[in-house]
Amino acid sequence: MVVDTQDEMVVQPPINEKDQVTEINPEQLDTEPETLENVPVATDFEAMKEIVLPPLLDEPKVIEDVINTWTVENWRTLSKKEHGPIFQAGGYPWRILLFPFGNNVDQSSVYLEHGFQDTNSIPDDWSCCVQFGLVMWNINDPSLFYHHTAHHRFTKEESDWGFTRFLELRKMFQQPWDNSGHPLVENDSVNITAYVRVVEDETGVLWHNFNNYDSKKETGYVGLKNQGATCYLNSLLQSLYFTNAFRKAVYEIPTAEDESITNSAYTLQRLFYQLQISNSAVGTNELTKSFGWDTRHIFEQQDVQELSRKLIERMEERMKGTAAEDALPRMLSGKVKTYVSCIDVEYESSRIEDFWDIQLNVRGIPNLEESFKDYIQQETLDGDNKYWAGDEFKYQDARKGVIFKSFPEVLHLHLKRFEYDIQRDTMMKINDRFEFPEVLDLTPYLDQDADKSEPWIYKLHGVLVHSGDLNAGHYYAYLKPNKDGWFYKFDDDKVTKATMRETLEENFGGEYPASLVQSRTGLQKKTPIMRQMSAYMLVYIRESRLDQVLTPVRKEDCPPHLQKRLDEEAAAREAKRKEREEQHLYLPVKVITEDTFKHHGSTDLADFEANNPAENAAAPRFYRTKKQTTIGELVALIGEDIGQDPKRIRLWIMVNRQNKTTRPDQPIMDLRPTIEETYQRMASTTRDYALRVWAEVAEEVDAEGEAIWPTYQNNANGVIVKNDLILLFLKHFDAERQVLEGVGHIYVSKEKRVEELVPVIAKKMGWGDKLPSGEQLAMWEEIKPTMIETLKAKQSLKAAELQDGDIICFQKVQERKPAEILGKIPRLGDKNSEETTRRWDRYDDAKGFYDFLCNKKEVRFDPHPRCEKANYPSFILTLSTKVTYDQLAERVGEQLGVEPTHLRFFTANASTGSPKSAVRKAVGQTLSTILNPNGYTQQSMQTKANSLFFEVLDMSLAELDTKKNVKVTWLSEGITKAETFDVLVNKQGHIEDLVQAFVKKAQLKDEQEGGRIRVYEIHHHKFFRELVPNYPVLSINDYAEVIAERIPEEERDADERDFIKVIHFQNDPSRIHGIPFKFLLKEGEPFSETKKRLENRTGIKGKAFEKIKFAIVRRFQKPTYLEDDTILFDEGGTIEDDIVLGLDHLDRSRTTRNGGEMFLK
């Protein structure tokens, strides 16, 4: 049973029913009062049908309309749930479902449900789309009625749909209906008429709830997962994927030698192949990582046109030198001619350029054909704006414009749905209606001499759609994968069939047709309802090249190495999935052996978190064992693995002690229980998901080969005997090698004294029966990692409270005075004839080494990017977090072979891994506070806790504190070559000191020999200010970039008033990029000559310079583009901030958008 939604409860009340409304005085309105049409009576079924079955936005095709009336009698005697008579509509049975006294509400509940008698006979995939209205009306007066309208996709699971709150019971029985003197239900009877319209489900997803929807099963295609705000990327990738020739070309890029996630060509190949073979939606994480994007980029919607260009450019670069080298230009690039043609003389100036997409205006233009006409519209140059046609023809009337020489096989059209609004001073979305055809003839927009041997007829292949406004929107695509057949809607991970109306009409934008908008009253009628979705990119394919572009892509077309890699990954995923499914049948077992203990060089007996026993000899052995395996079977498995007779192996249960150590507690003597039963018995003493045991191997066996155990031995009666021997584990600290290692285990009587362990340990270590003369053993008990207590020589083990599983650590020391307590070892400061200087990073006793183990940390050190030329290596050091700044510098200096005083450290950014802030030396500072300077705060969470950058300085840190570091960008060839240098200059110095230091650092000629150097600041790609020689260094803006260049000879003595600032932008002055500069204007110079000087000044040569358009840019105004005869000196002639010269050209650097970089690595 489905409870109706709020939308289904909103109903237009009958006209004659008075409702509580806000009264509006008609005199206050500009419009005339509305006139109400005559309301039909309930028996006029055709007229009522127009009311209860209004037009739907989906406009589905009507299969059949059926009207059926059920007269409900004796209402008060009805049961809780009643069914009306069955009637047929659209070939299926239907009936009304009625809850006379409400479905758990105080209103009558009325639904429409299918009338199948045997629900088991309904196919699982059965569905029927129905628009219906339910009308309740008085049996004697058909002018008294009430109705609700809804539409629904009926399925086997959702068999009914309707209105839980159809009408309040008190209104039905107790109140006269609309002052008529009669209640709606009269004489305990009422009529309920069902108006049922069965409509065609053309796409199979009309009104679908998409629960358990399988895109691959329904359409044969899969979608892409949305990472956060990557729907724009998904729609573009699907468009490129279904351009089959593009996919094939990408497959031909050689990537076998670089199967790296940082290789965007390889990750795009992986993505395309997964889309080809996968049964579920594919992720784009690998691809975006190869772009160099982090979380910030994932949650920012980027410019789709820009992303498309950059991605295609990157693939074109990777295709150079391969079989697919010319594939993309041939497929995606056309040619356009920009010209100025004189009207009265035969003179034309033109240039032909390549284009990869076309940007078309939408505002105020009805359709695509008109937008193309607008694009090639000619501009007449006459009057004061005549064209300079050279010395021969002088100034002439001329026509200026663009015309296409050819179009590519696959044409990408970007519709300018987002434009800058001058009044609002922001970007706005344009929702104007803009129609585009399924078939497009581009012949009218071609040059007369263009090759027309093949028709320039194009067929629509893709529509990329934006829904919403500028700040909050969603992207999806309608694509036609095959030459013939359906369009499909690709909406992130969901793929559905789409009708031509959905593909075309719904994406034209503009207002909804009035016939589809349900009746509204009053002021609402004046406000049009605008479509939120509209096309922003169109893909057309030349009809004569459809077969080549949409050529089938087979599995064999994918690189074999890629298929192999992905098949292996799929098999691994399947194995993991199977393992997860069967996980409940298995219980992991972790086993400590004598061998793993000997290789364990840290606290406790083992690190149970360690993995890969094959690579780490100290890691516990891991067995994935079925829960029903017996302990005996487990012992046999372990014996086979470690090469021992199972009869000689005994397992001890490992338990967690209260001090958070894990030690053996008692042996498992009964081998019959399962490992699950054993684990459950010890569940209260473990914090691990696995059964943890220590495997003891017997040193002696009897005549039958059975193990003889020192304690917990079975006697002849099967009784386990425990004597006074205790199990102890031994660790040896080698002070010379600075290592702690496991030795093995021993059984010792509790009554023995500590000093009696010496010969046992000596024998275990292979030192003989006793220690050489002059040597002693110092011993400690490892109670827990942070509690290491000295053992007294004369003390008994019982008095020392030693028990099974305890650990004793020992080391050799030189013999001291006889009266000295065993365990005391030499200390720094003791007067000794052989006293030597002790290094701070060496530990003379085990207790100090244990402290190091508890505080040790592996720290990665990387050279700061400023050290690249010195080619210093990256390395990892294991250090105590208690070391001071000076000790840290000493260790790193020793590793690098440099002076510790000349090292500076930087913390690392947790998200980007790049250097963050310099570490400032402070009192009481340790490695712990360096890596985590502010405790667990938001700032510390942004700092890597195990990584530092180092910089090797030319001076000591003390001297560095007197300097200011200034990052200077040097322009050596106009603005085309920029090198950045970090320059240290005295904080009390001036710009002239900065120039001298910079010249020395960059190894340039000084100002006397090479010419004066100009230093200026730029901010957000705009010229900020020029810094004069006596300007203080300390006053340089930390948030601005410092630029240095040689002053051109013609500018050296020029008047400051004759300069103009120059910026670079792409299409719109708000999208600035590059390095701005000052440029000298000359009085009376035509812009044709000015351009020559600009070419020399910028260093941009040839075709790259020819593609630049020049404009005067004023604040809050559109750019004014310049002609060759313009006198720029008259236009600007000042260096004021509100007038600059703009160079409009493509930004080939990383482009900033929405406050962040959008780039592909």
Name the DSSP letter for residue 453.
Answer: S
Q: Angle formed by the axes of helices 264-277 and 560-581, to 10°?
A: 60
Distance, in Å, from the CA atom of 787 to the CA atom of 781, rounded to the nearest integer, reads: 8
Residue 941 — left, alpha, or beta (φ > 0 → left; ψ -120 to 50 → alpha)? alpha
Which of 128, 231, 342, 809 is flagged as catalytic?
231
Say whether 474 is catalytic: yes
Nearest residue to 754 (alpha-carbon basis) of 826, 813, 827, 810: 810
Taking alpha carbons only, the member of 775, 813, 605 closest to residue 695 is 605
Strand residue runs (E) in 115-159:
127-137, 145-155
Report the distance separating Cα 985 and Cα 995, nearest Å.
9
Residue 1074 CA neighbour count, 13 Å, CB half: 24
- 231 belongs to the catalytic site: yes
Cα–chain center distance at 879: 35
What is the secondary structure of 220-271 as a DSSP string? S---B---SS-HHHHHHHHHHHTSHHHHHHHHTS--TT---TT-HHHHHHHH
Q: How many CB atoms lie within 10 A of CB 356?
A: 18
Strands 1109-1114 and 1120-1121, by their bridges, are: antiparallel
3-state secondary structure of 569: helix
Catalytic pick among 474, 600, 732, 864: 474
| DSSP string across 162-217 | EEEEEEEHHHHHTS-GGGSSS-SSBTTBEEEEEEEEEE--SSS-TT---TT--HHH
d(CA 294, CA 657): 44
Which residues does 713 contact at the CB level (< 8 Å), separation at least 6?
720, 721
In 3-state terms, what secondary structure has residue 793? coil
Q: How buried is residue 254: exposed, middle or buried, by Cβ count under 10 Å (0-12/13-18/19+)?
A: middle
Tokens 């910079």 sit on residue: 998
What is the β-pairing status of strands 775-784 and 875-880? unpaired
Q: Can you tell me the distance from the alpha carbon of 89 to that of 1027, in angstroms, rounded to the nearest whole number? A: 85
Task: Report in angstroms the alpha-carbon separations of 872 from 560, 699, 840, 867, 868.
Answer: 39, 53, 26, 7, 7
Nearest CA-CA partner of 557 in 238, 279, 282, 272: 272
Among all chains, which residue has been given the structure tokens 């050819």?
406
Scanning 820-976, the segments in alpha helix (DSSP H) are 846-855, 885-896, 927-931, 938-941, 957-960
DSSP label of 900: G
Q: From CA 271, how far away is CA 606, in angstroms rounded?
A: 43
Identify the CA nearest to 251 among candidates 562, 627, 540, 564.
Answer: 562
**Any idea what DSSP says for residue 113?**
E
Written as six digits, the tokens of 446 are: 């071609």
Quick one: which H or E segment has residue 52? Answer: helix 45-52
Is residue 94 classed as helix, strand or coil in its secondary structure?
strand
Query: If you write DSSP's letter for every residue of 594-649 in order, what string do you get?
Result: HHHHHH--SSSS--TT---TTT-TTSPEEEEEETT-BHHHHHHHHHHHHT--GGGE
SS3 state at 49 = helix
- Positions annotated as catalytic residues are 231, 474
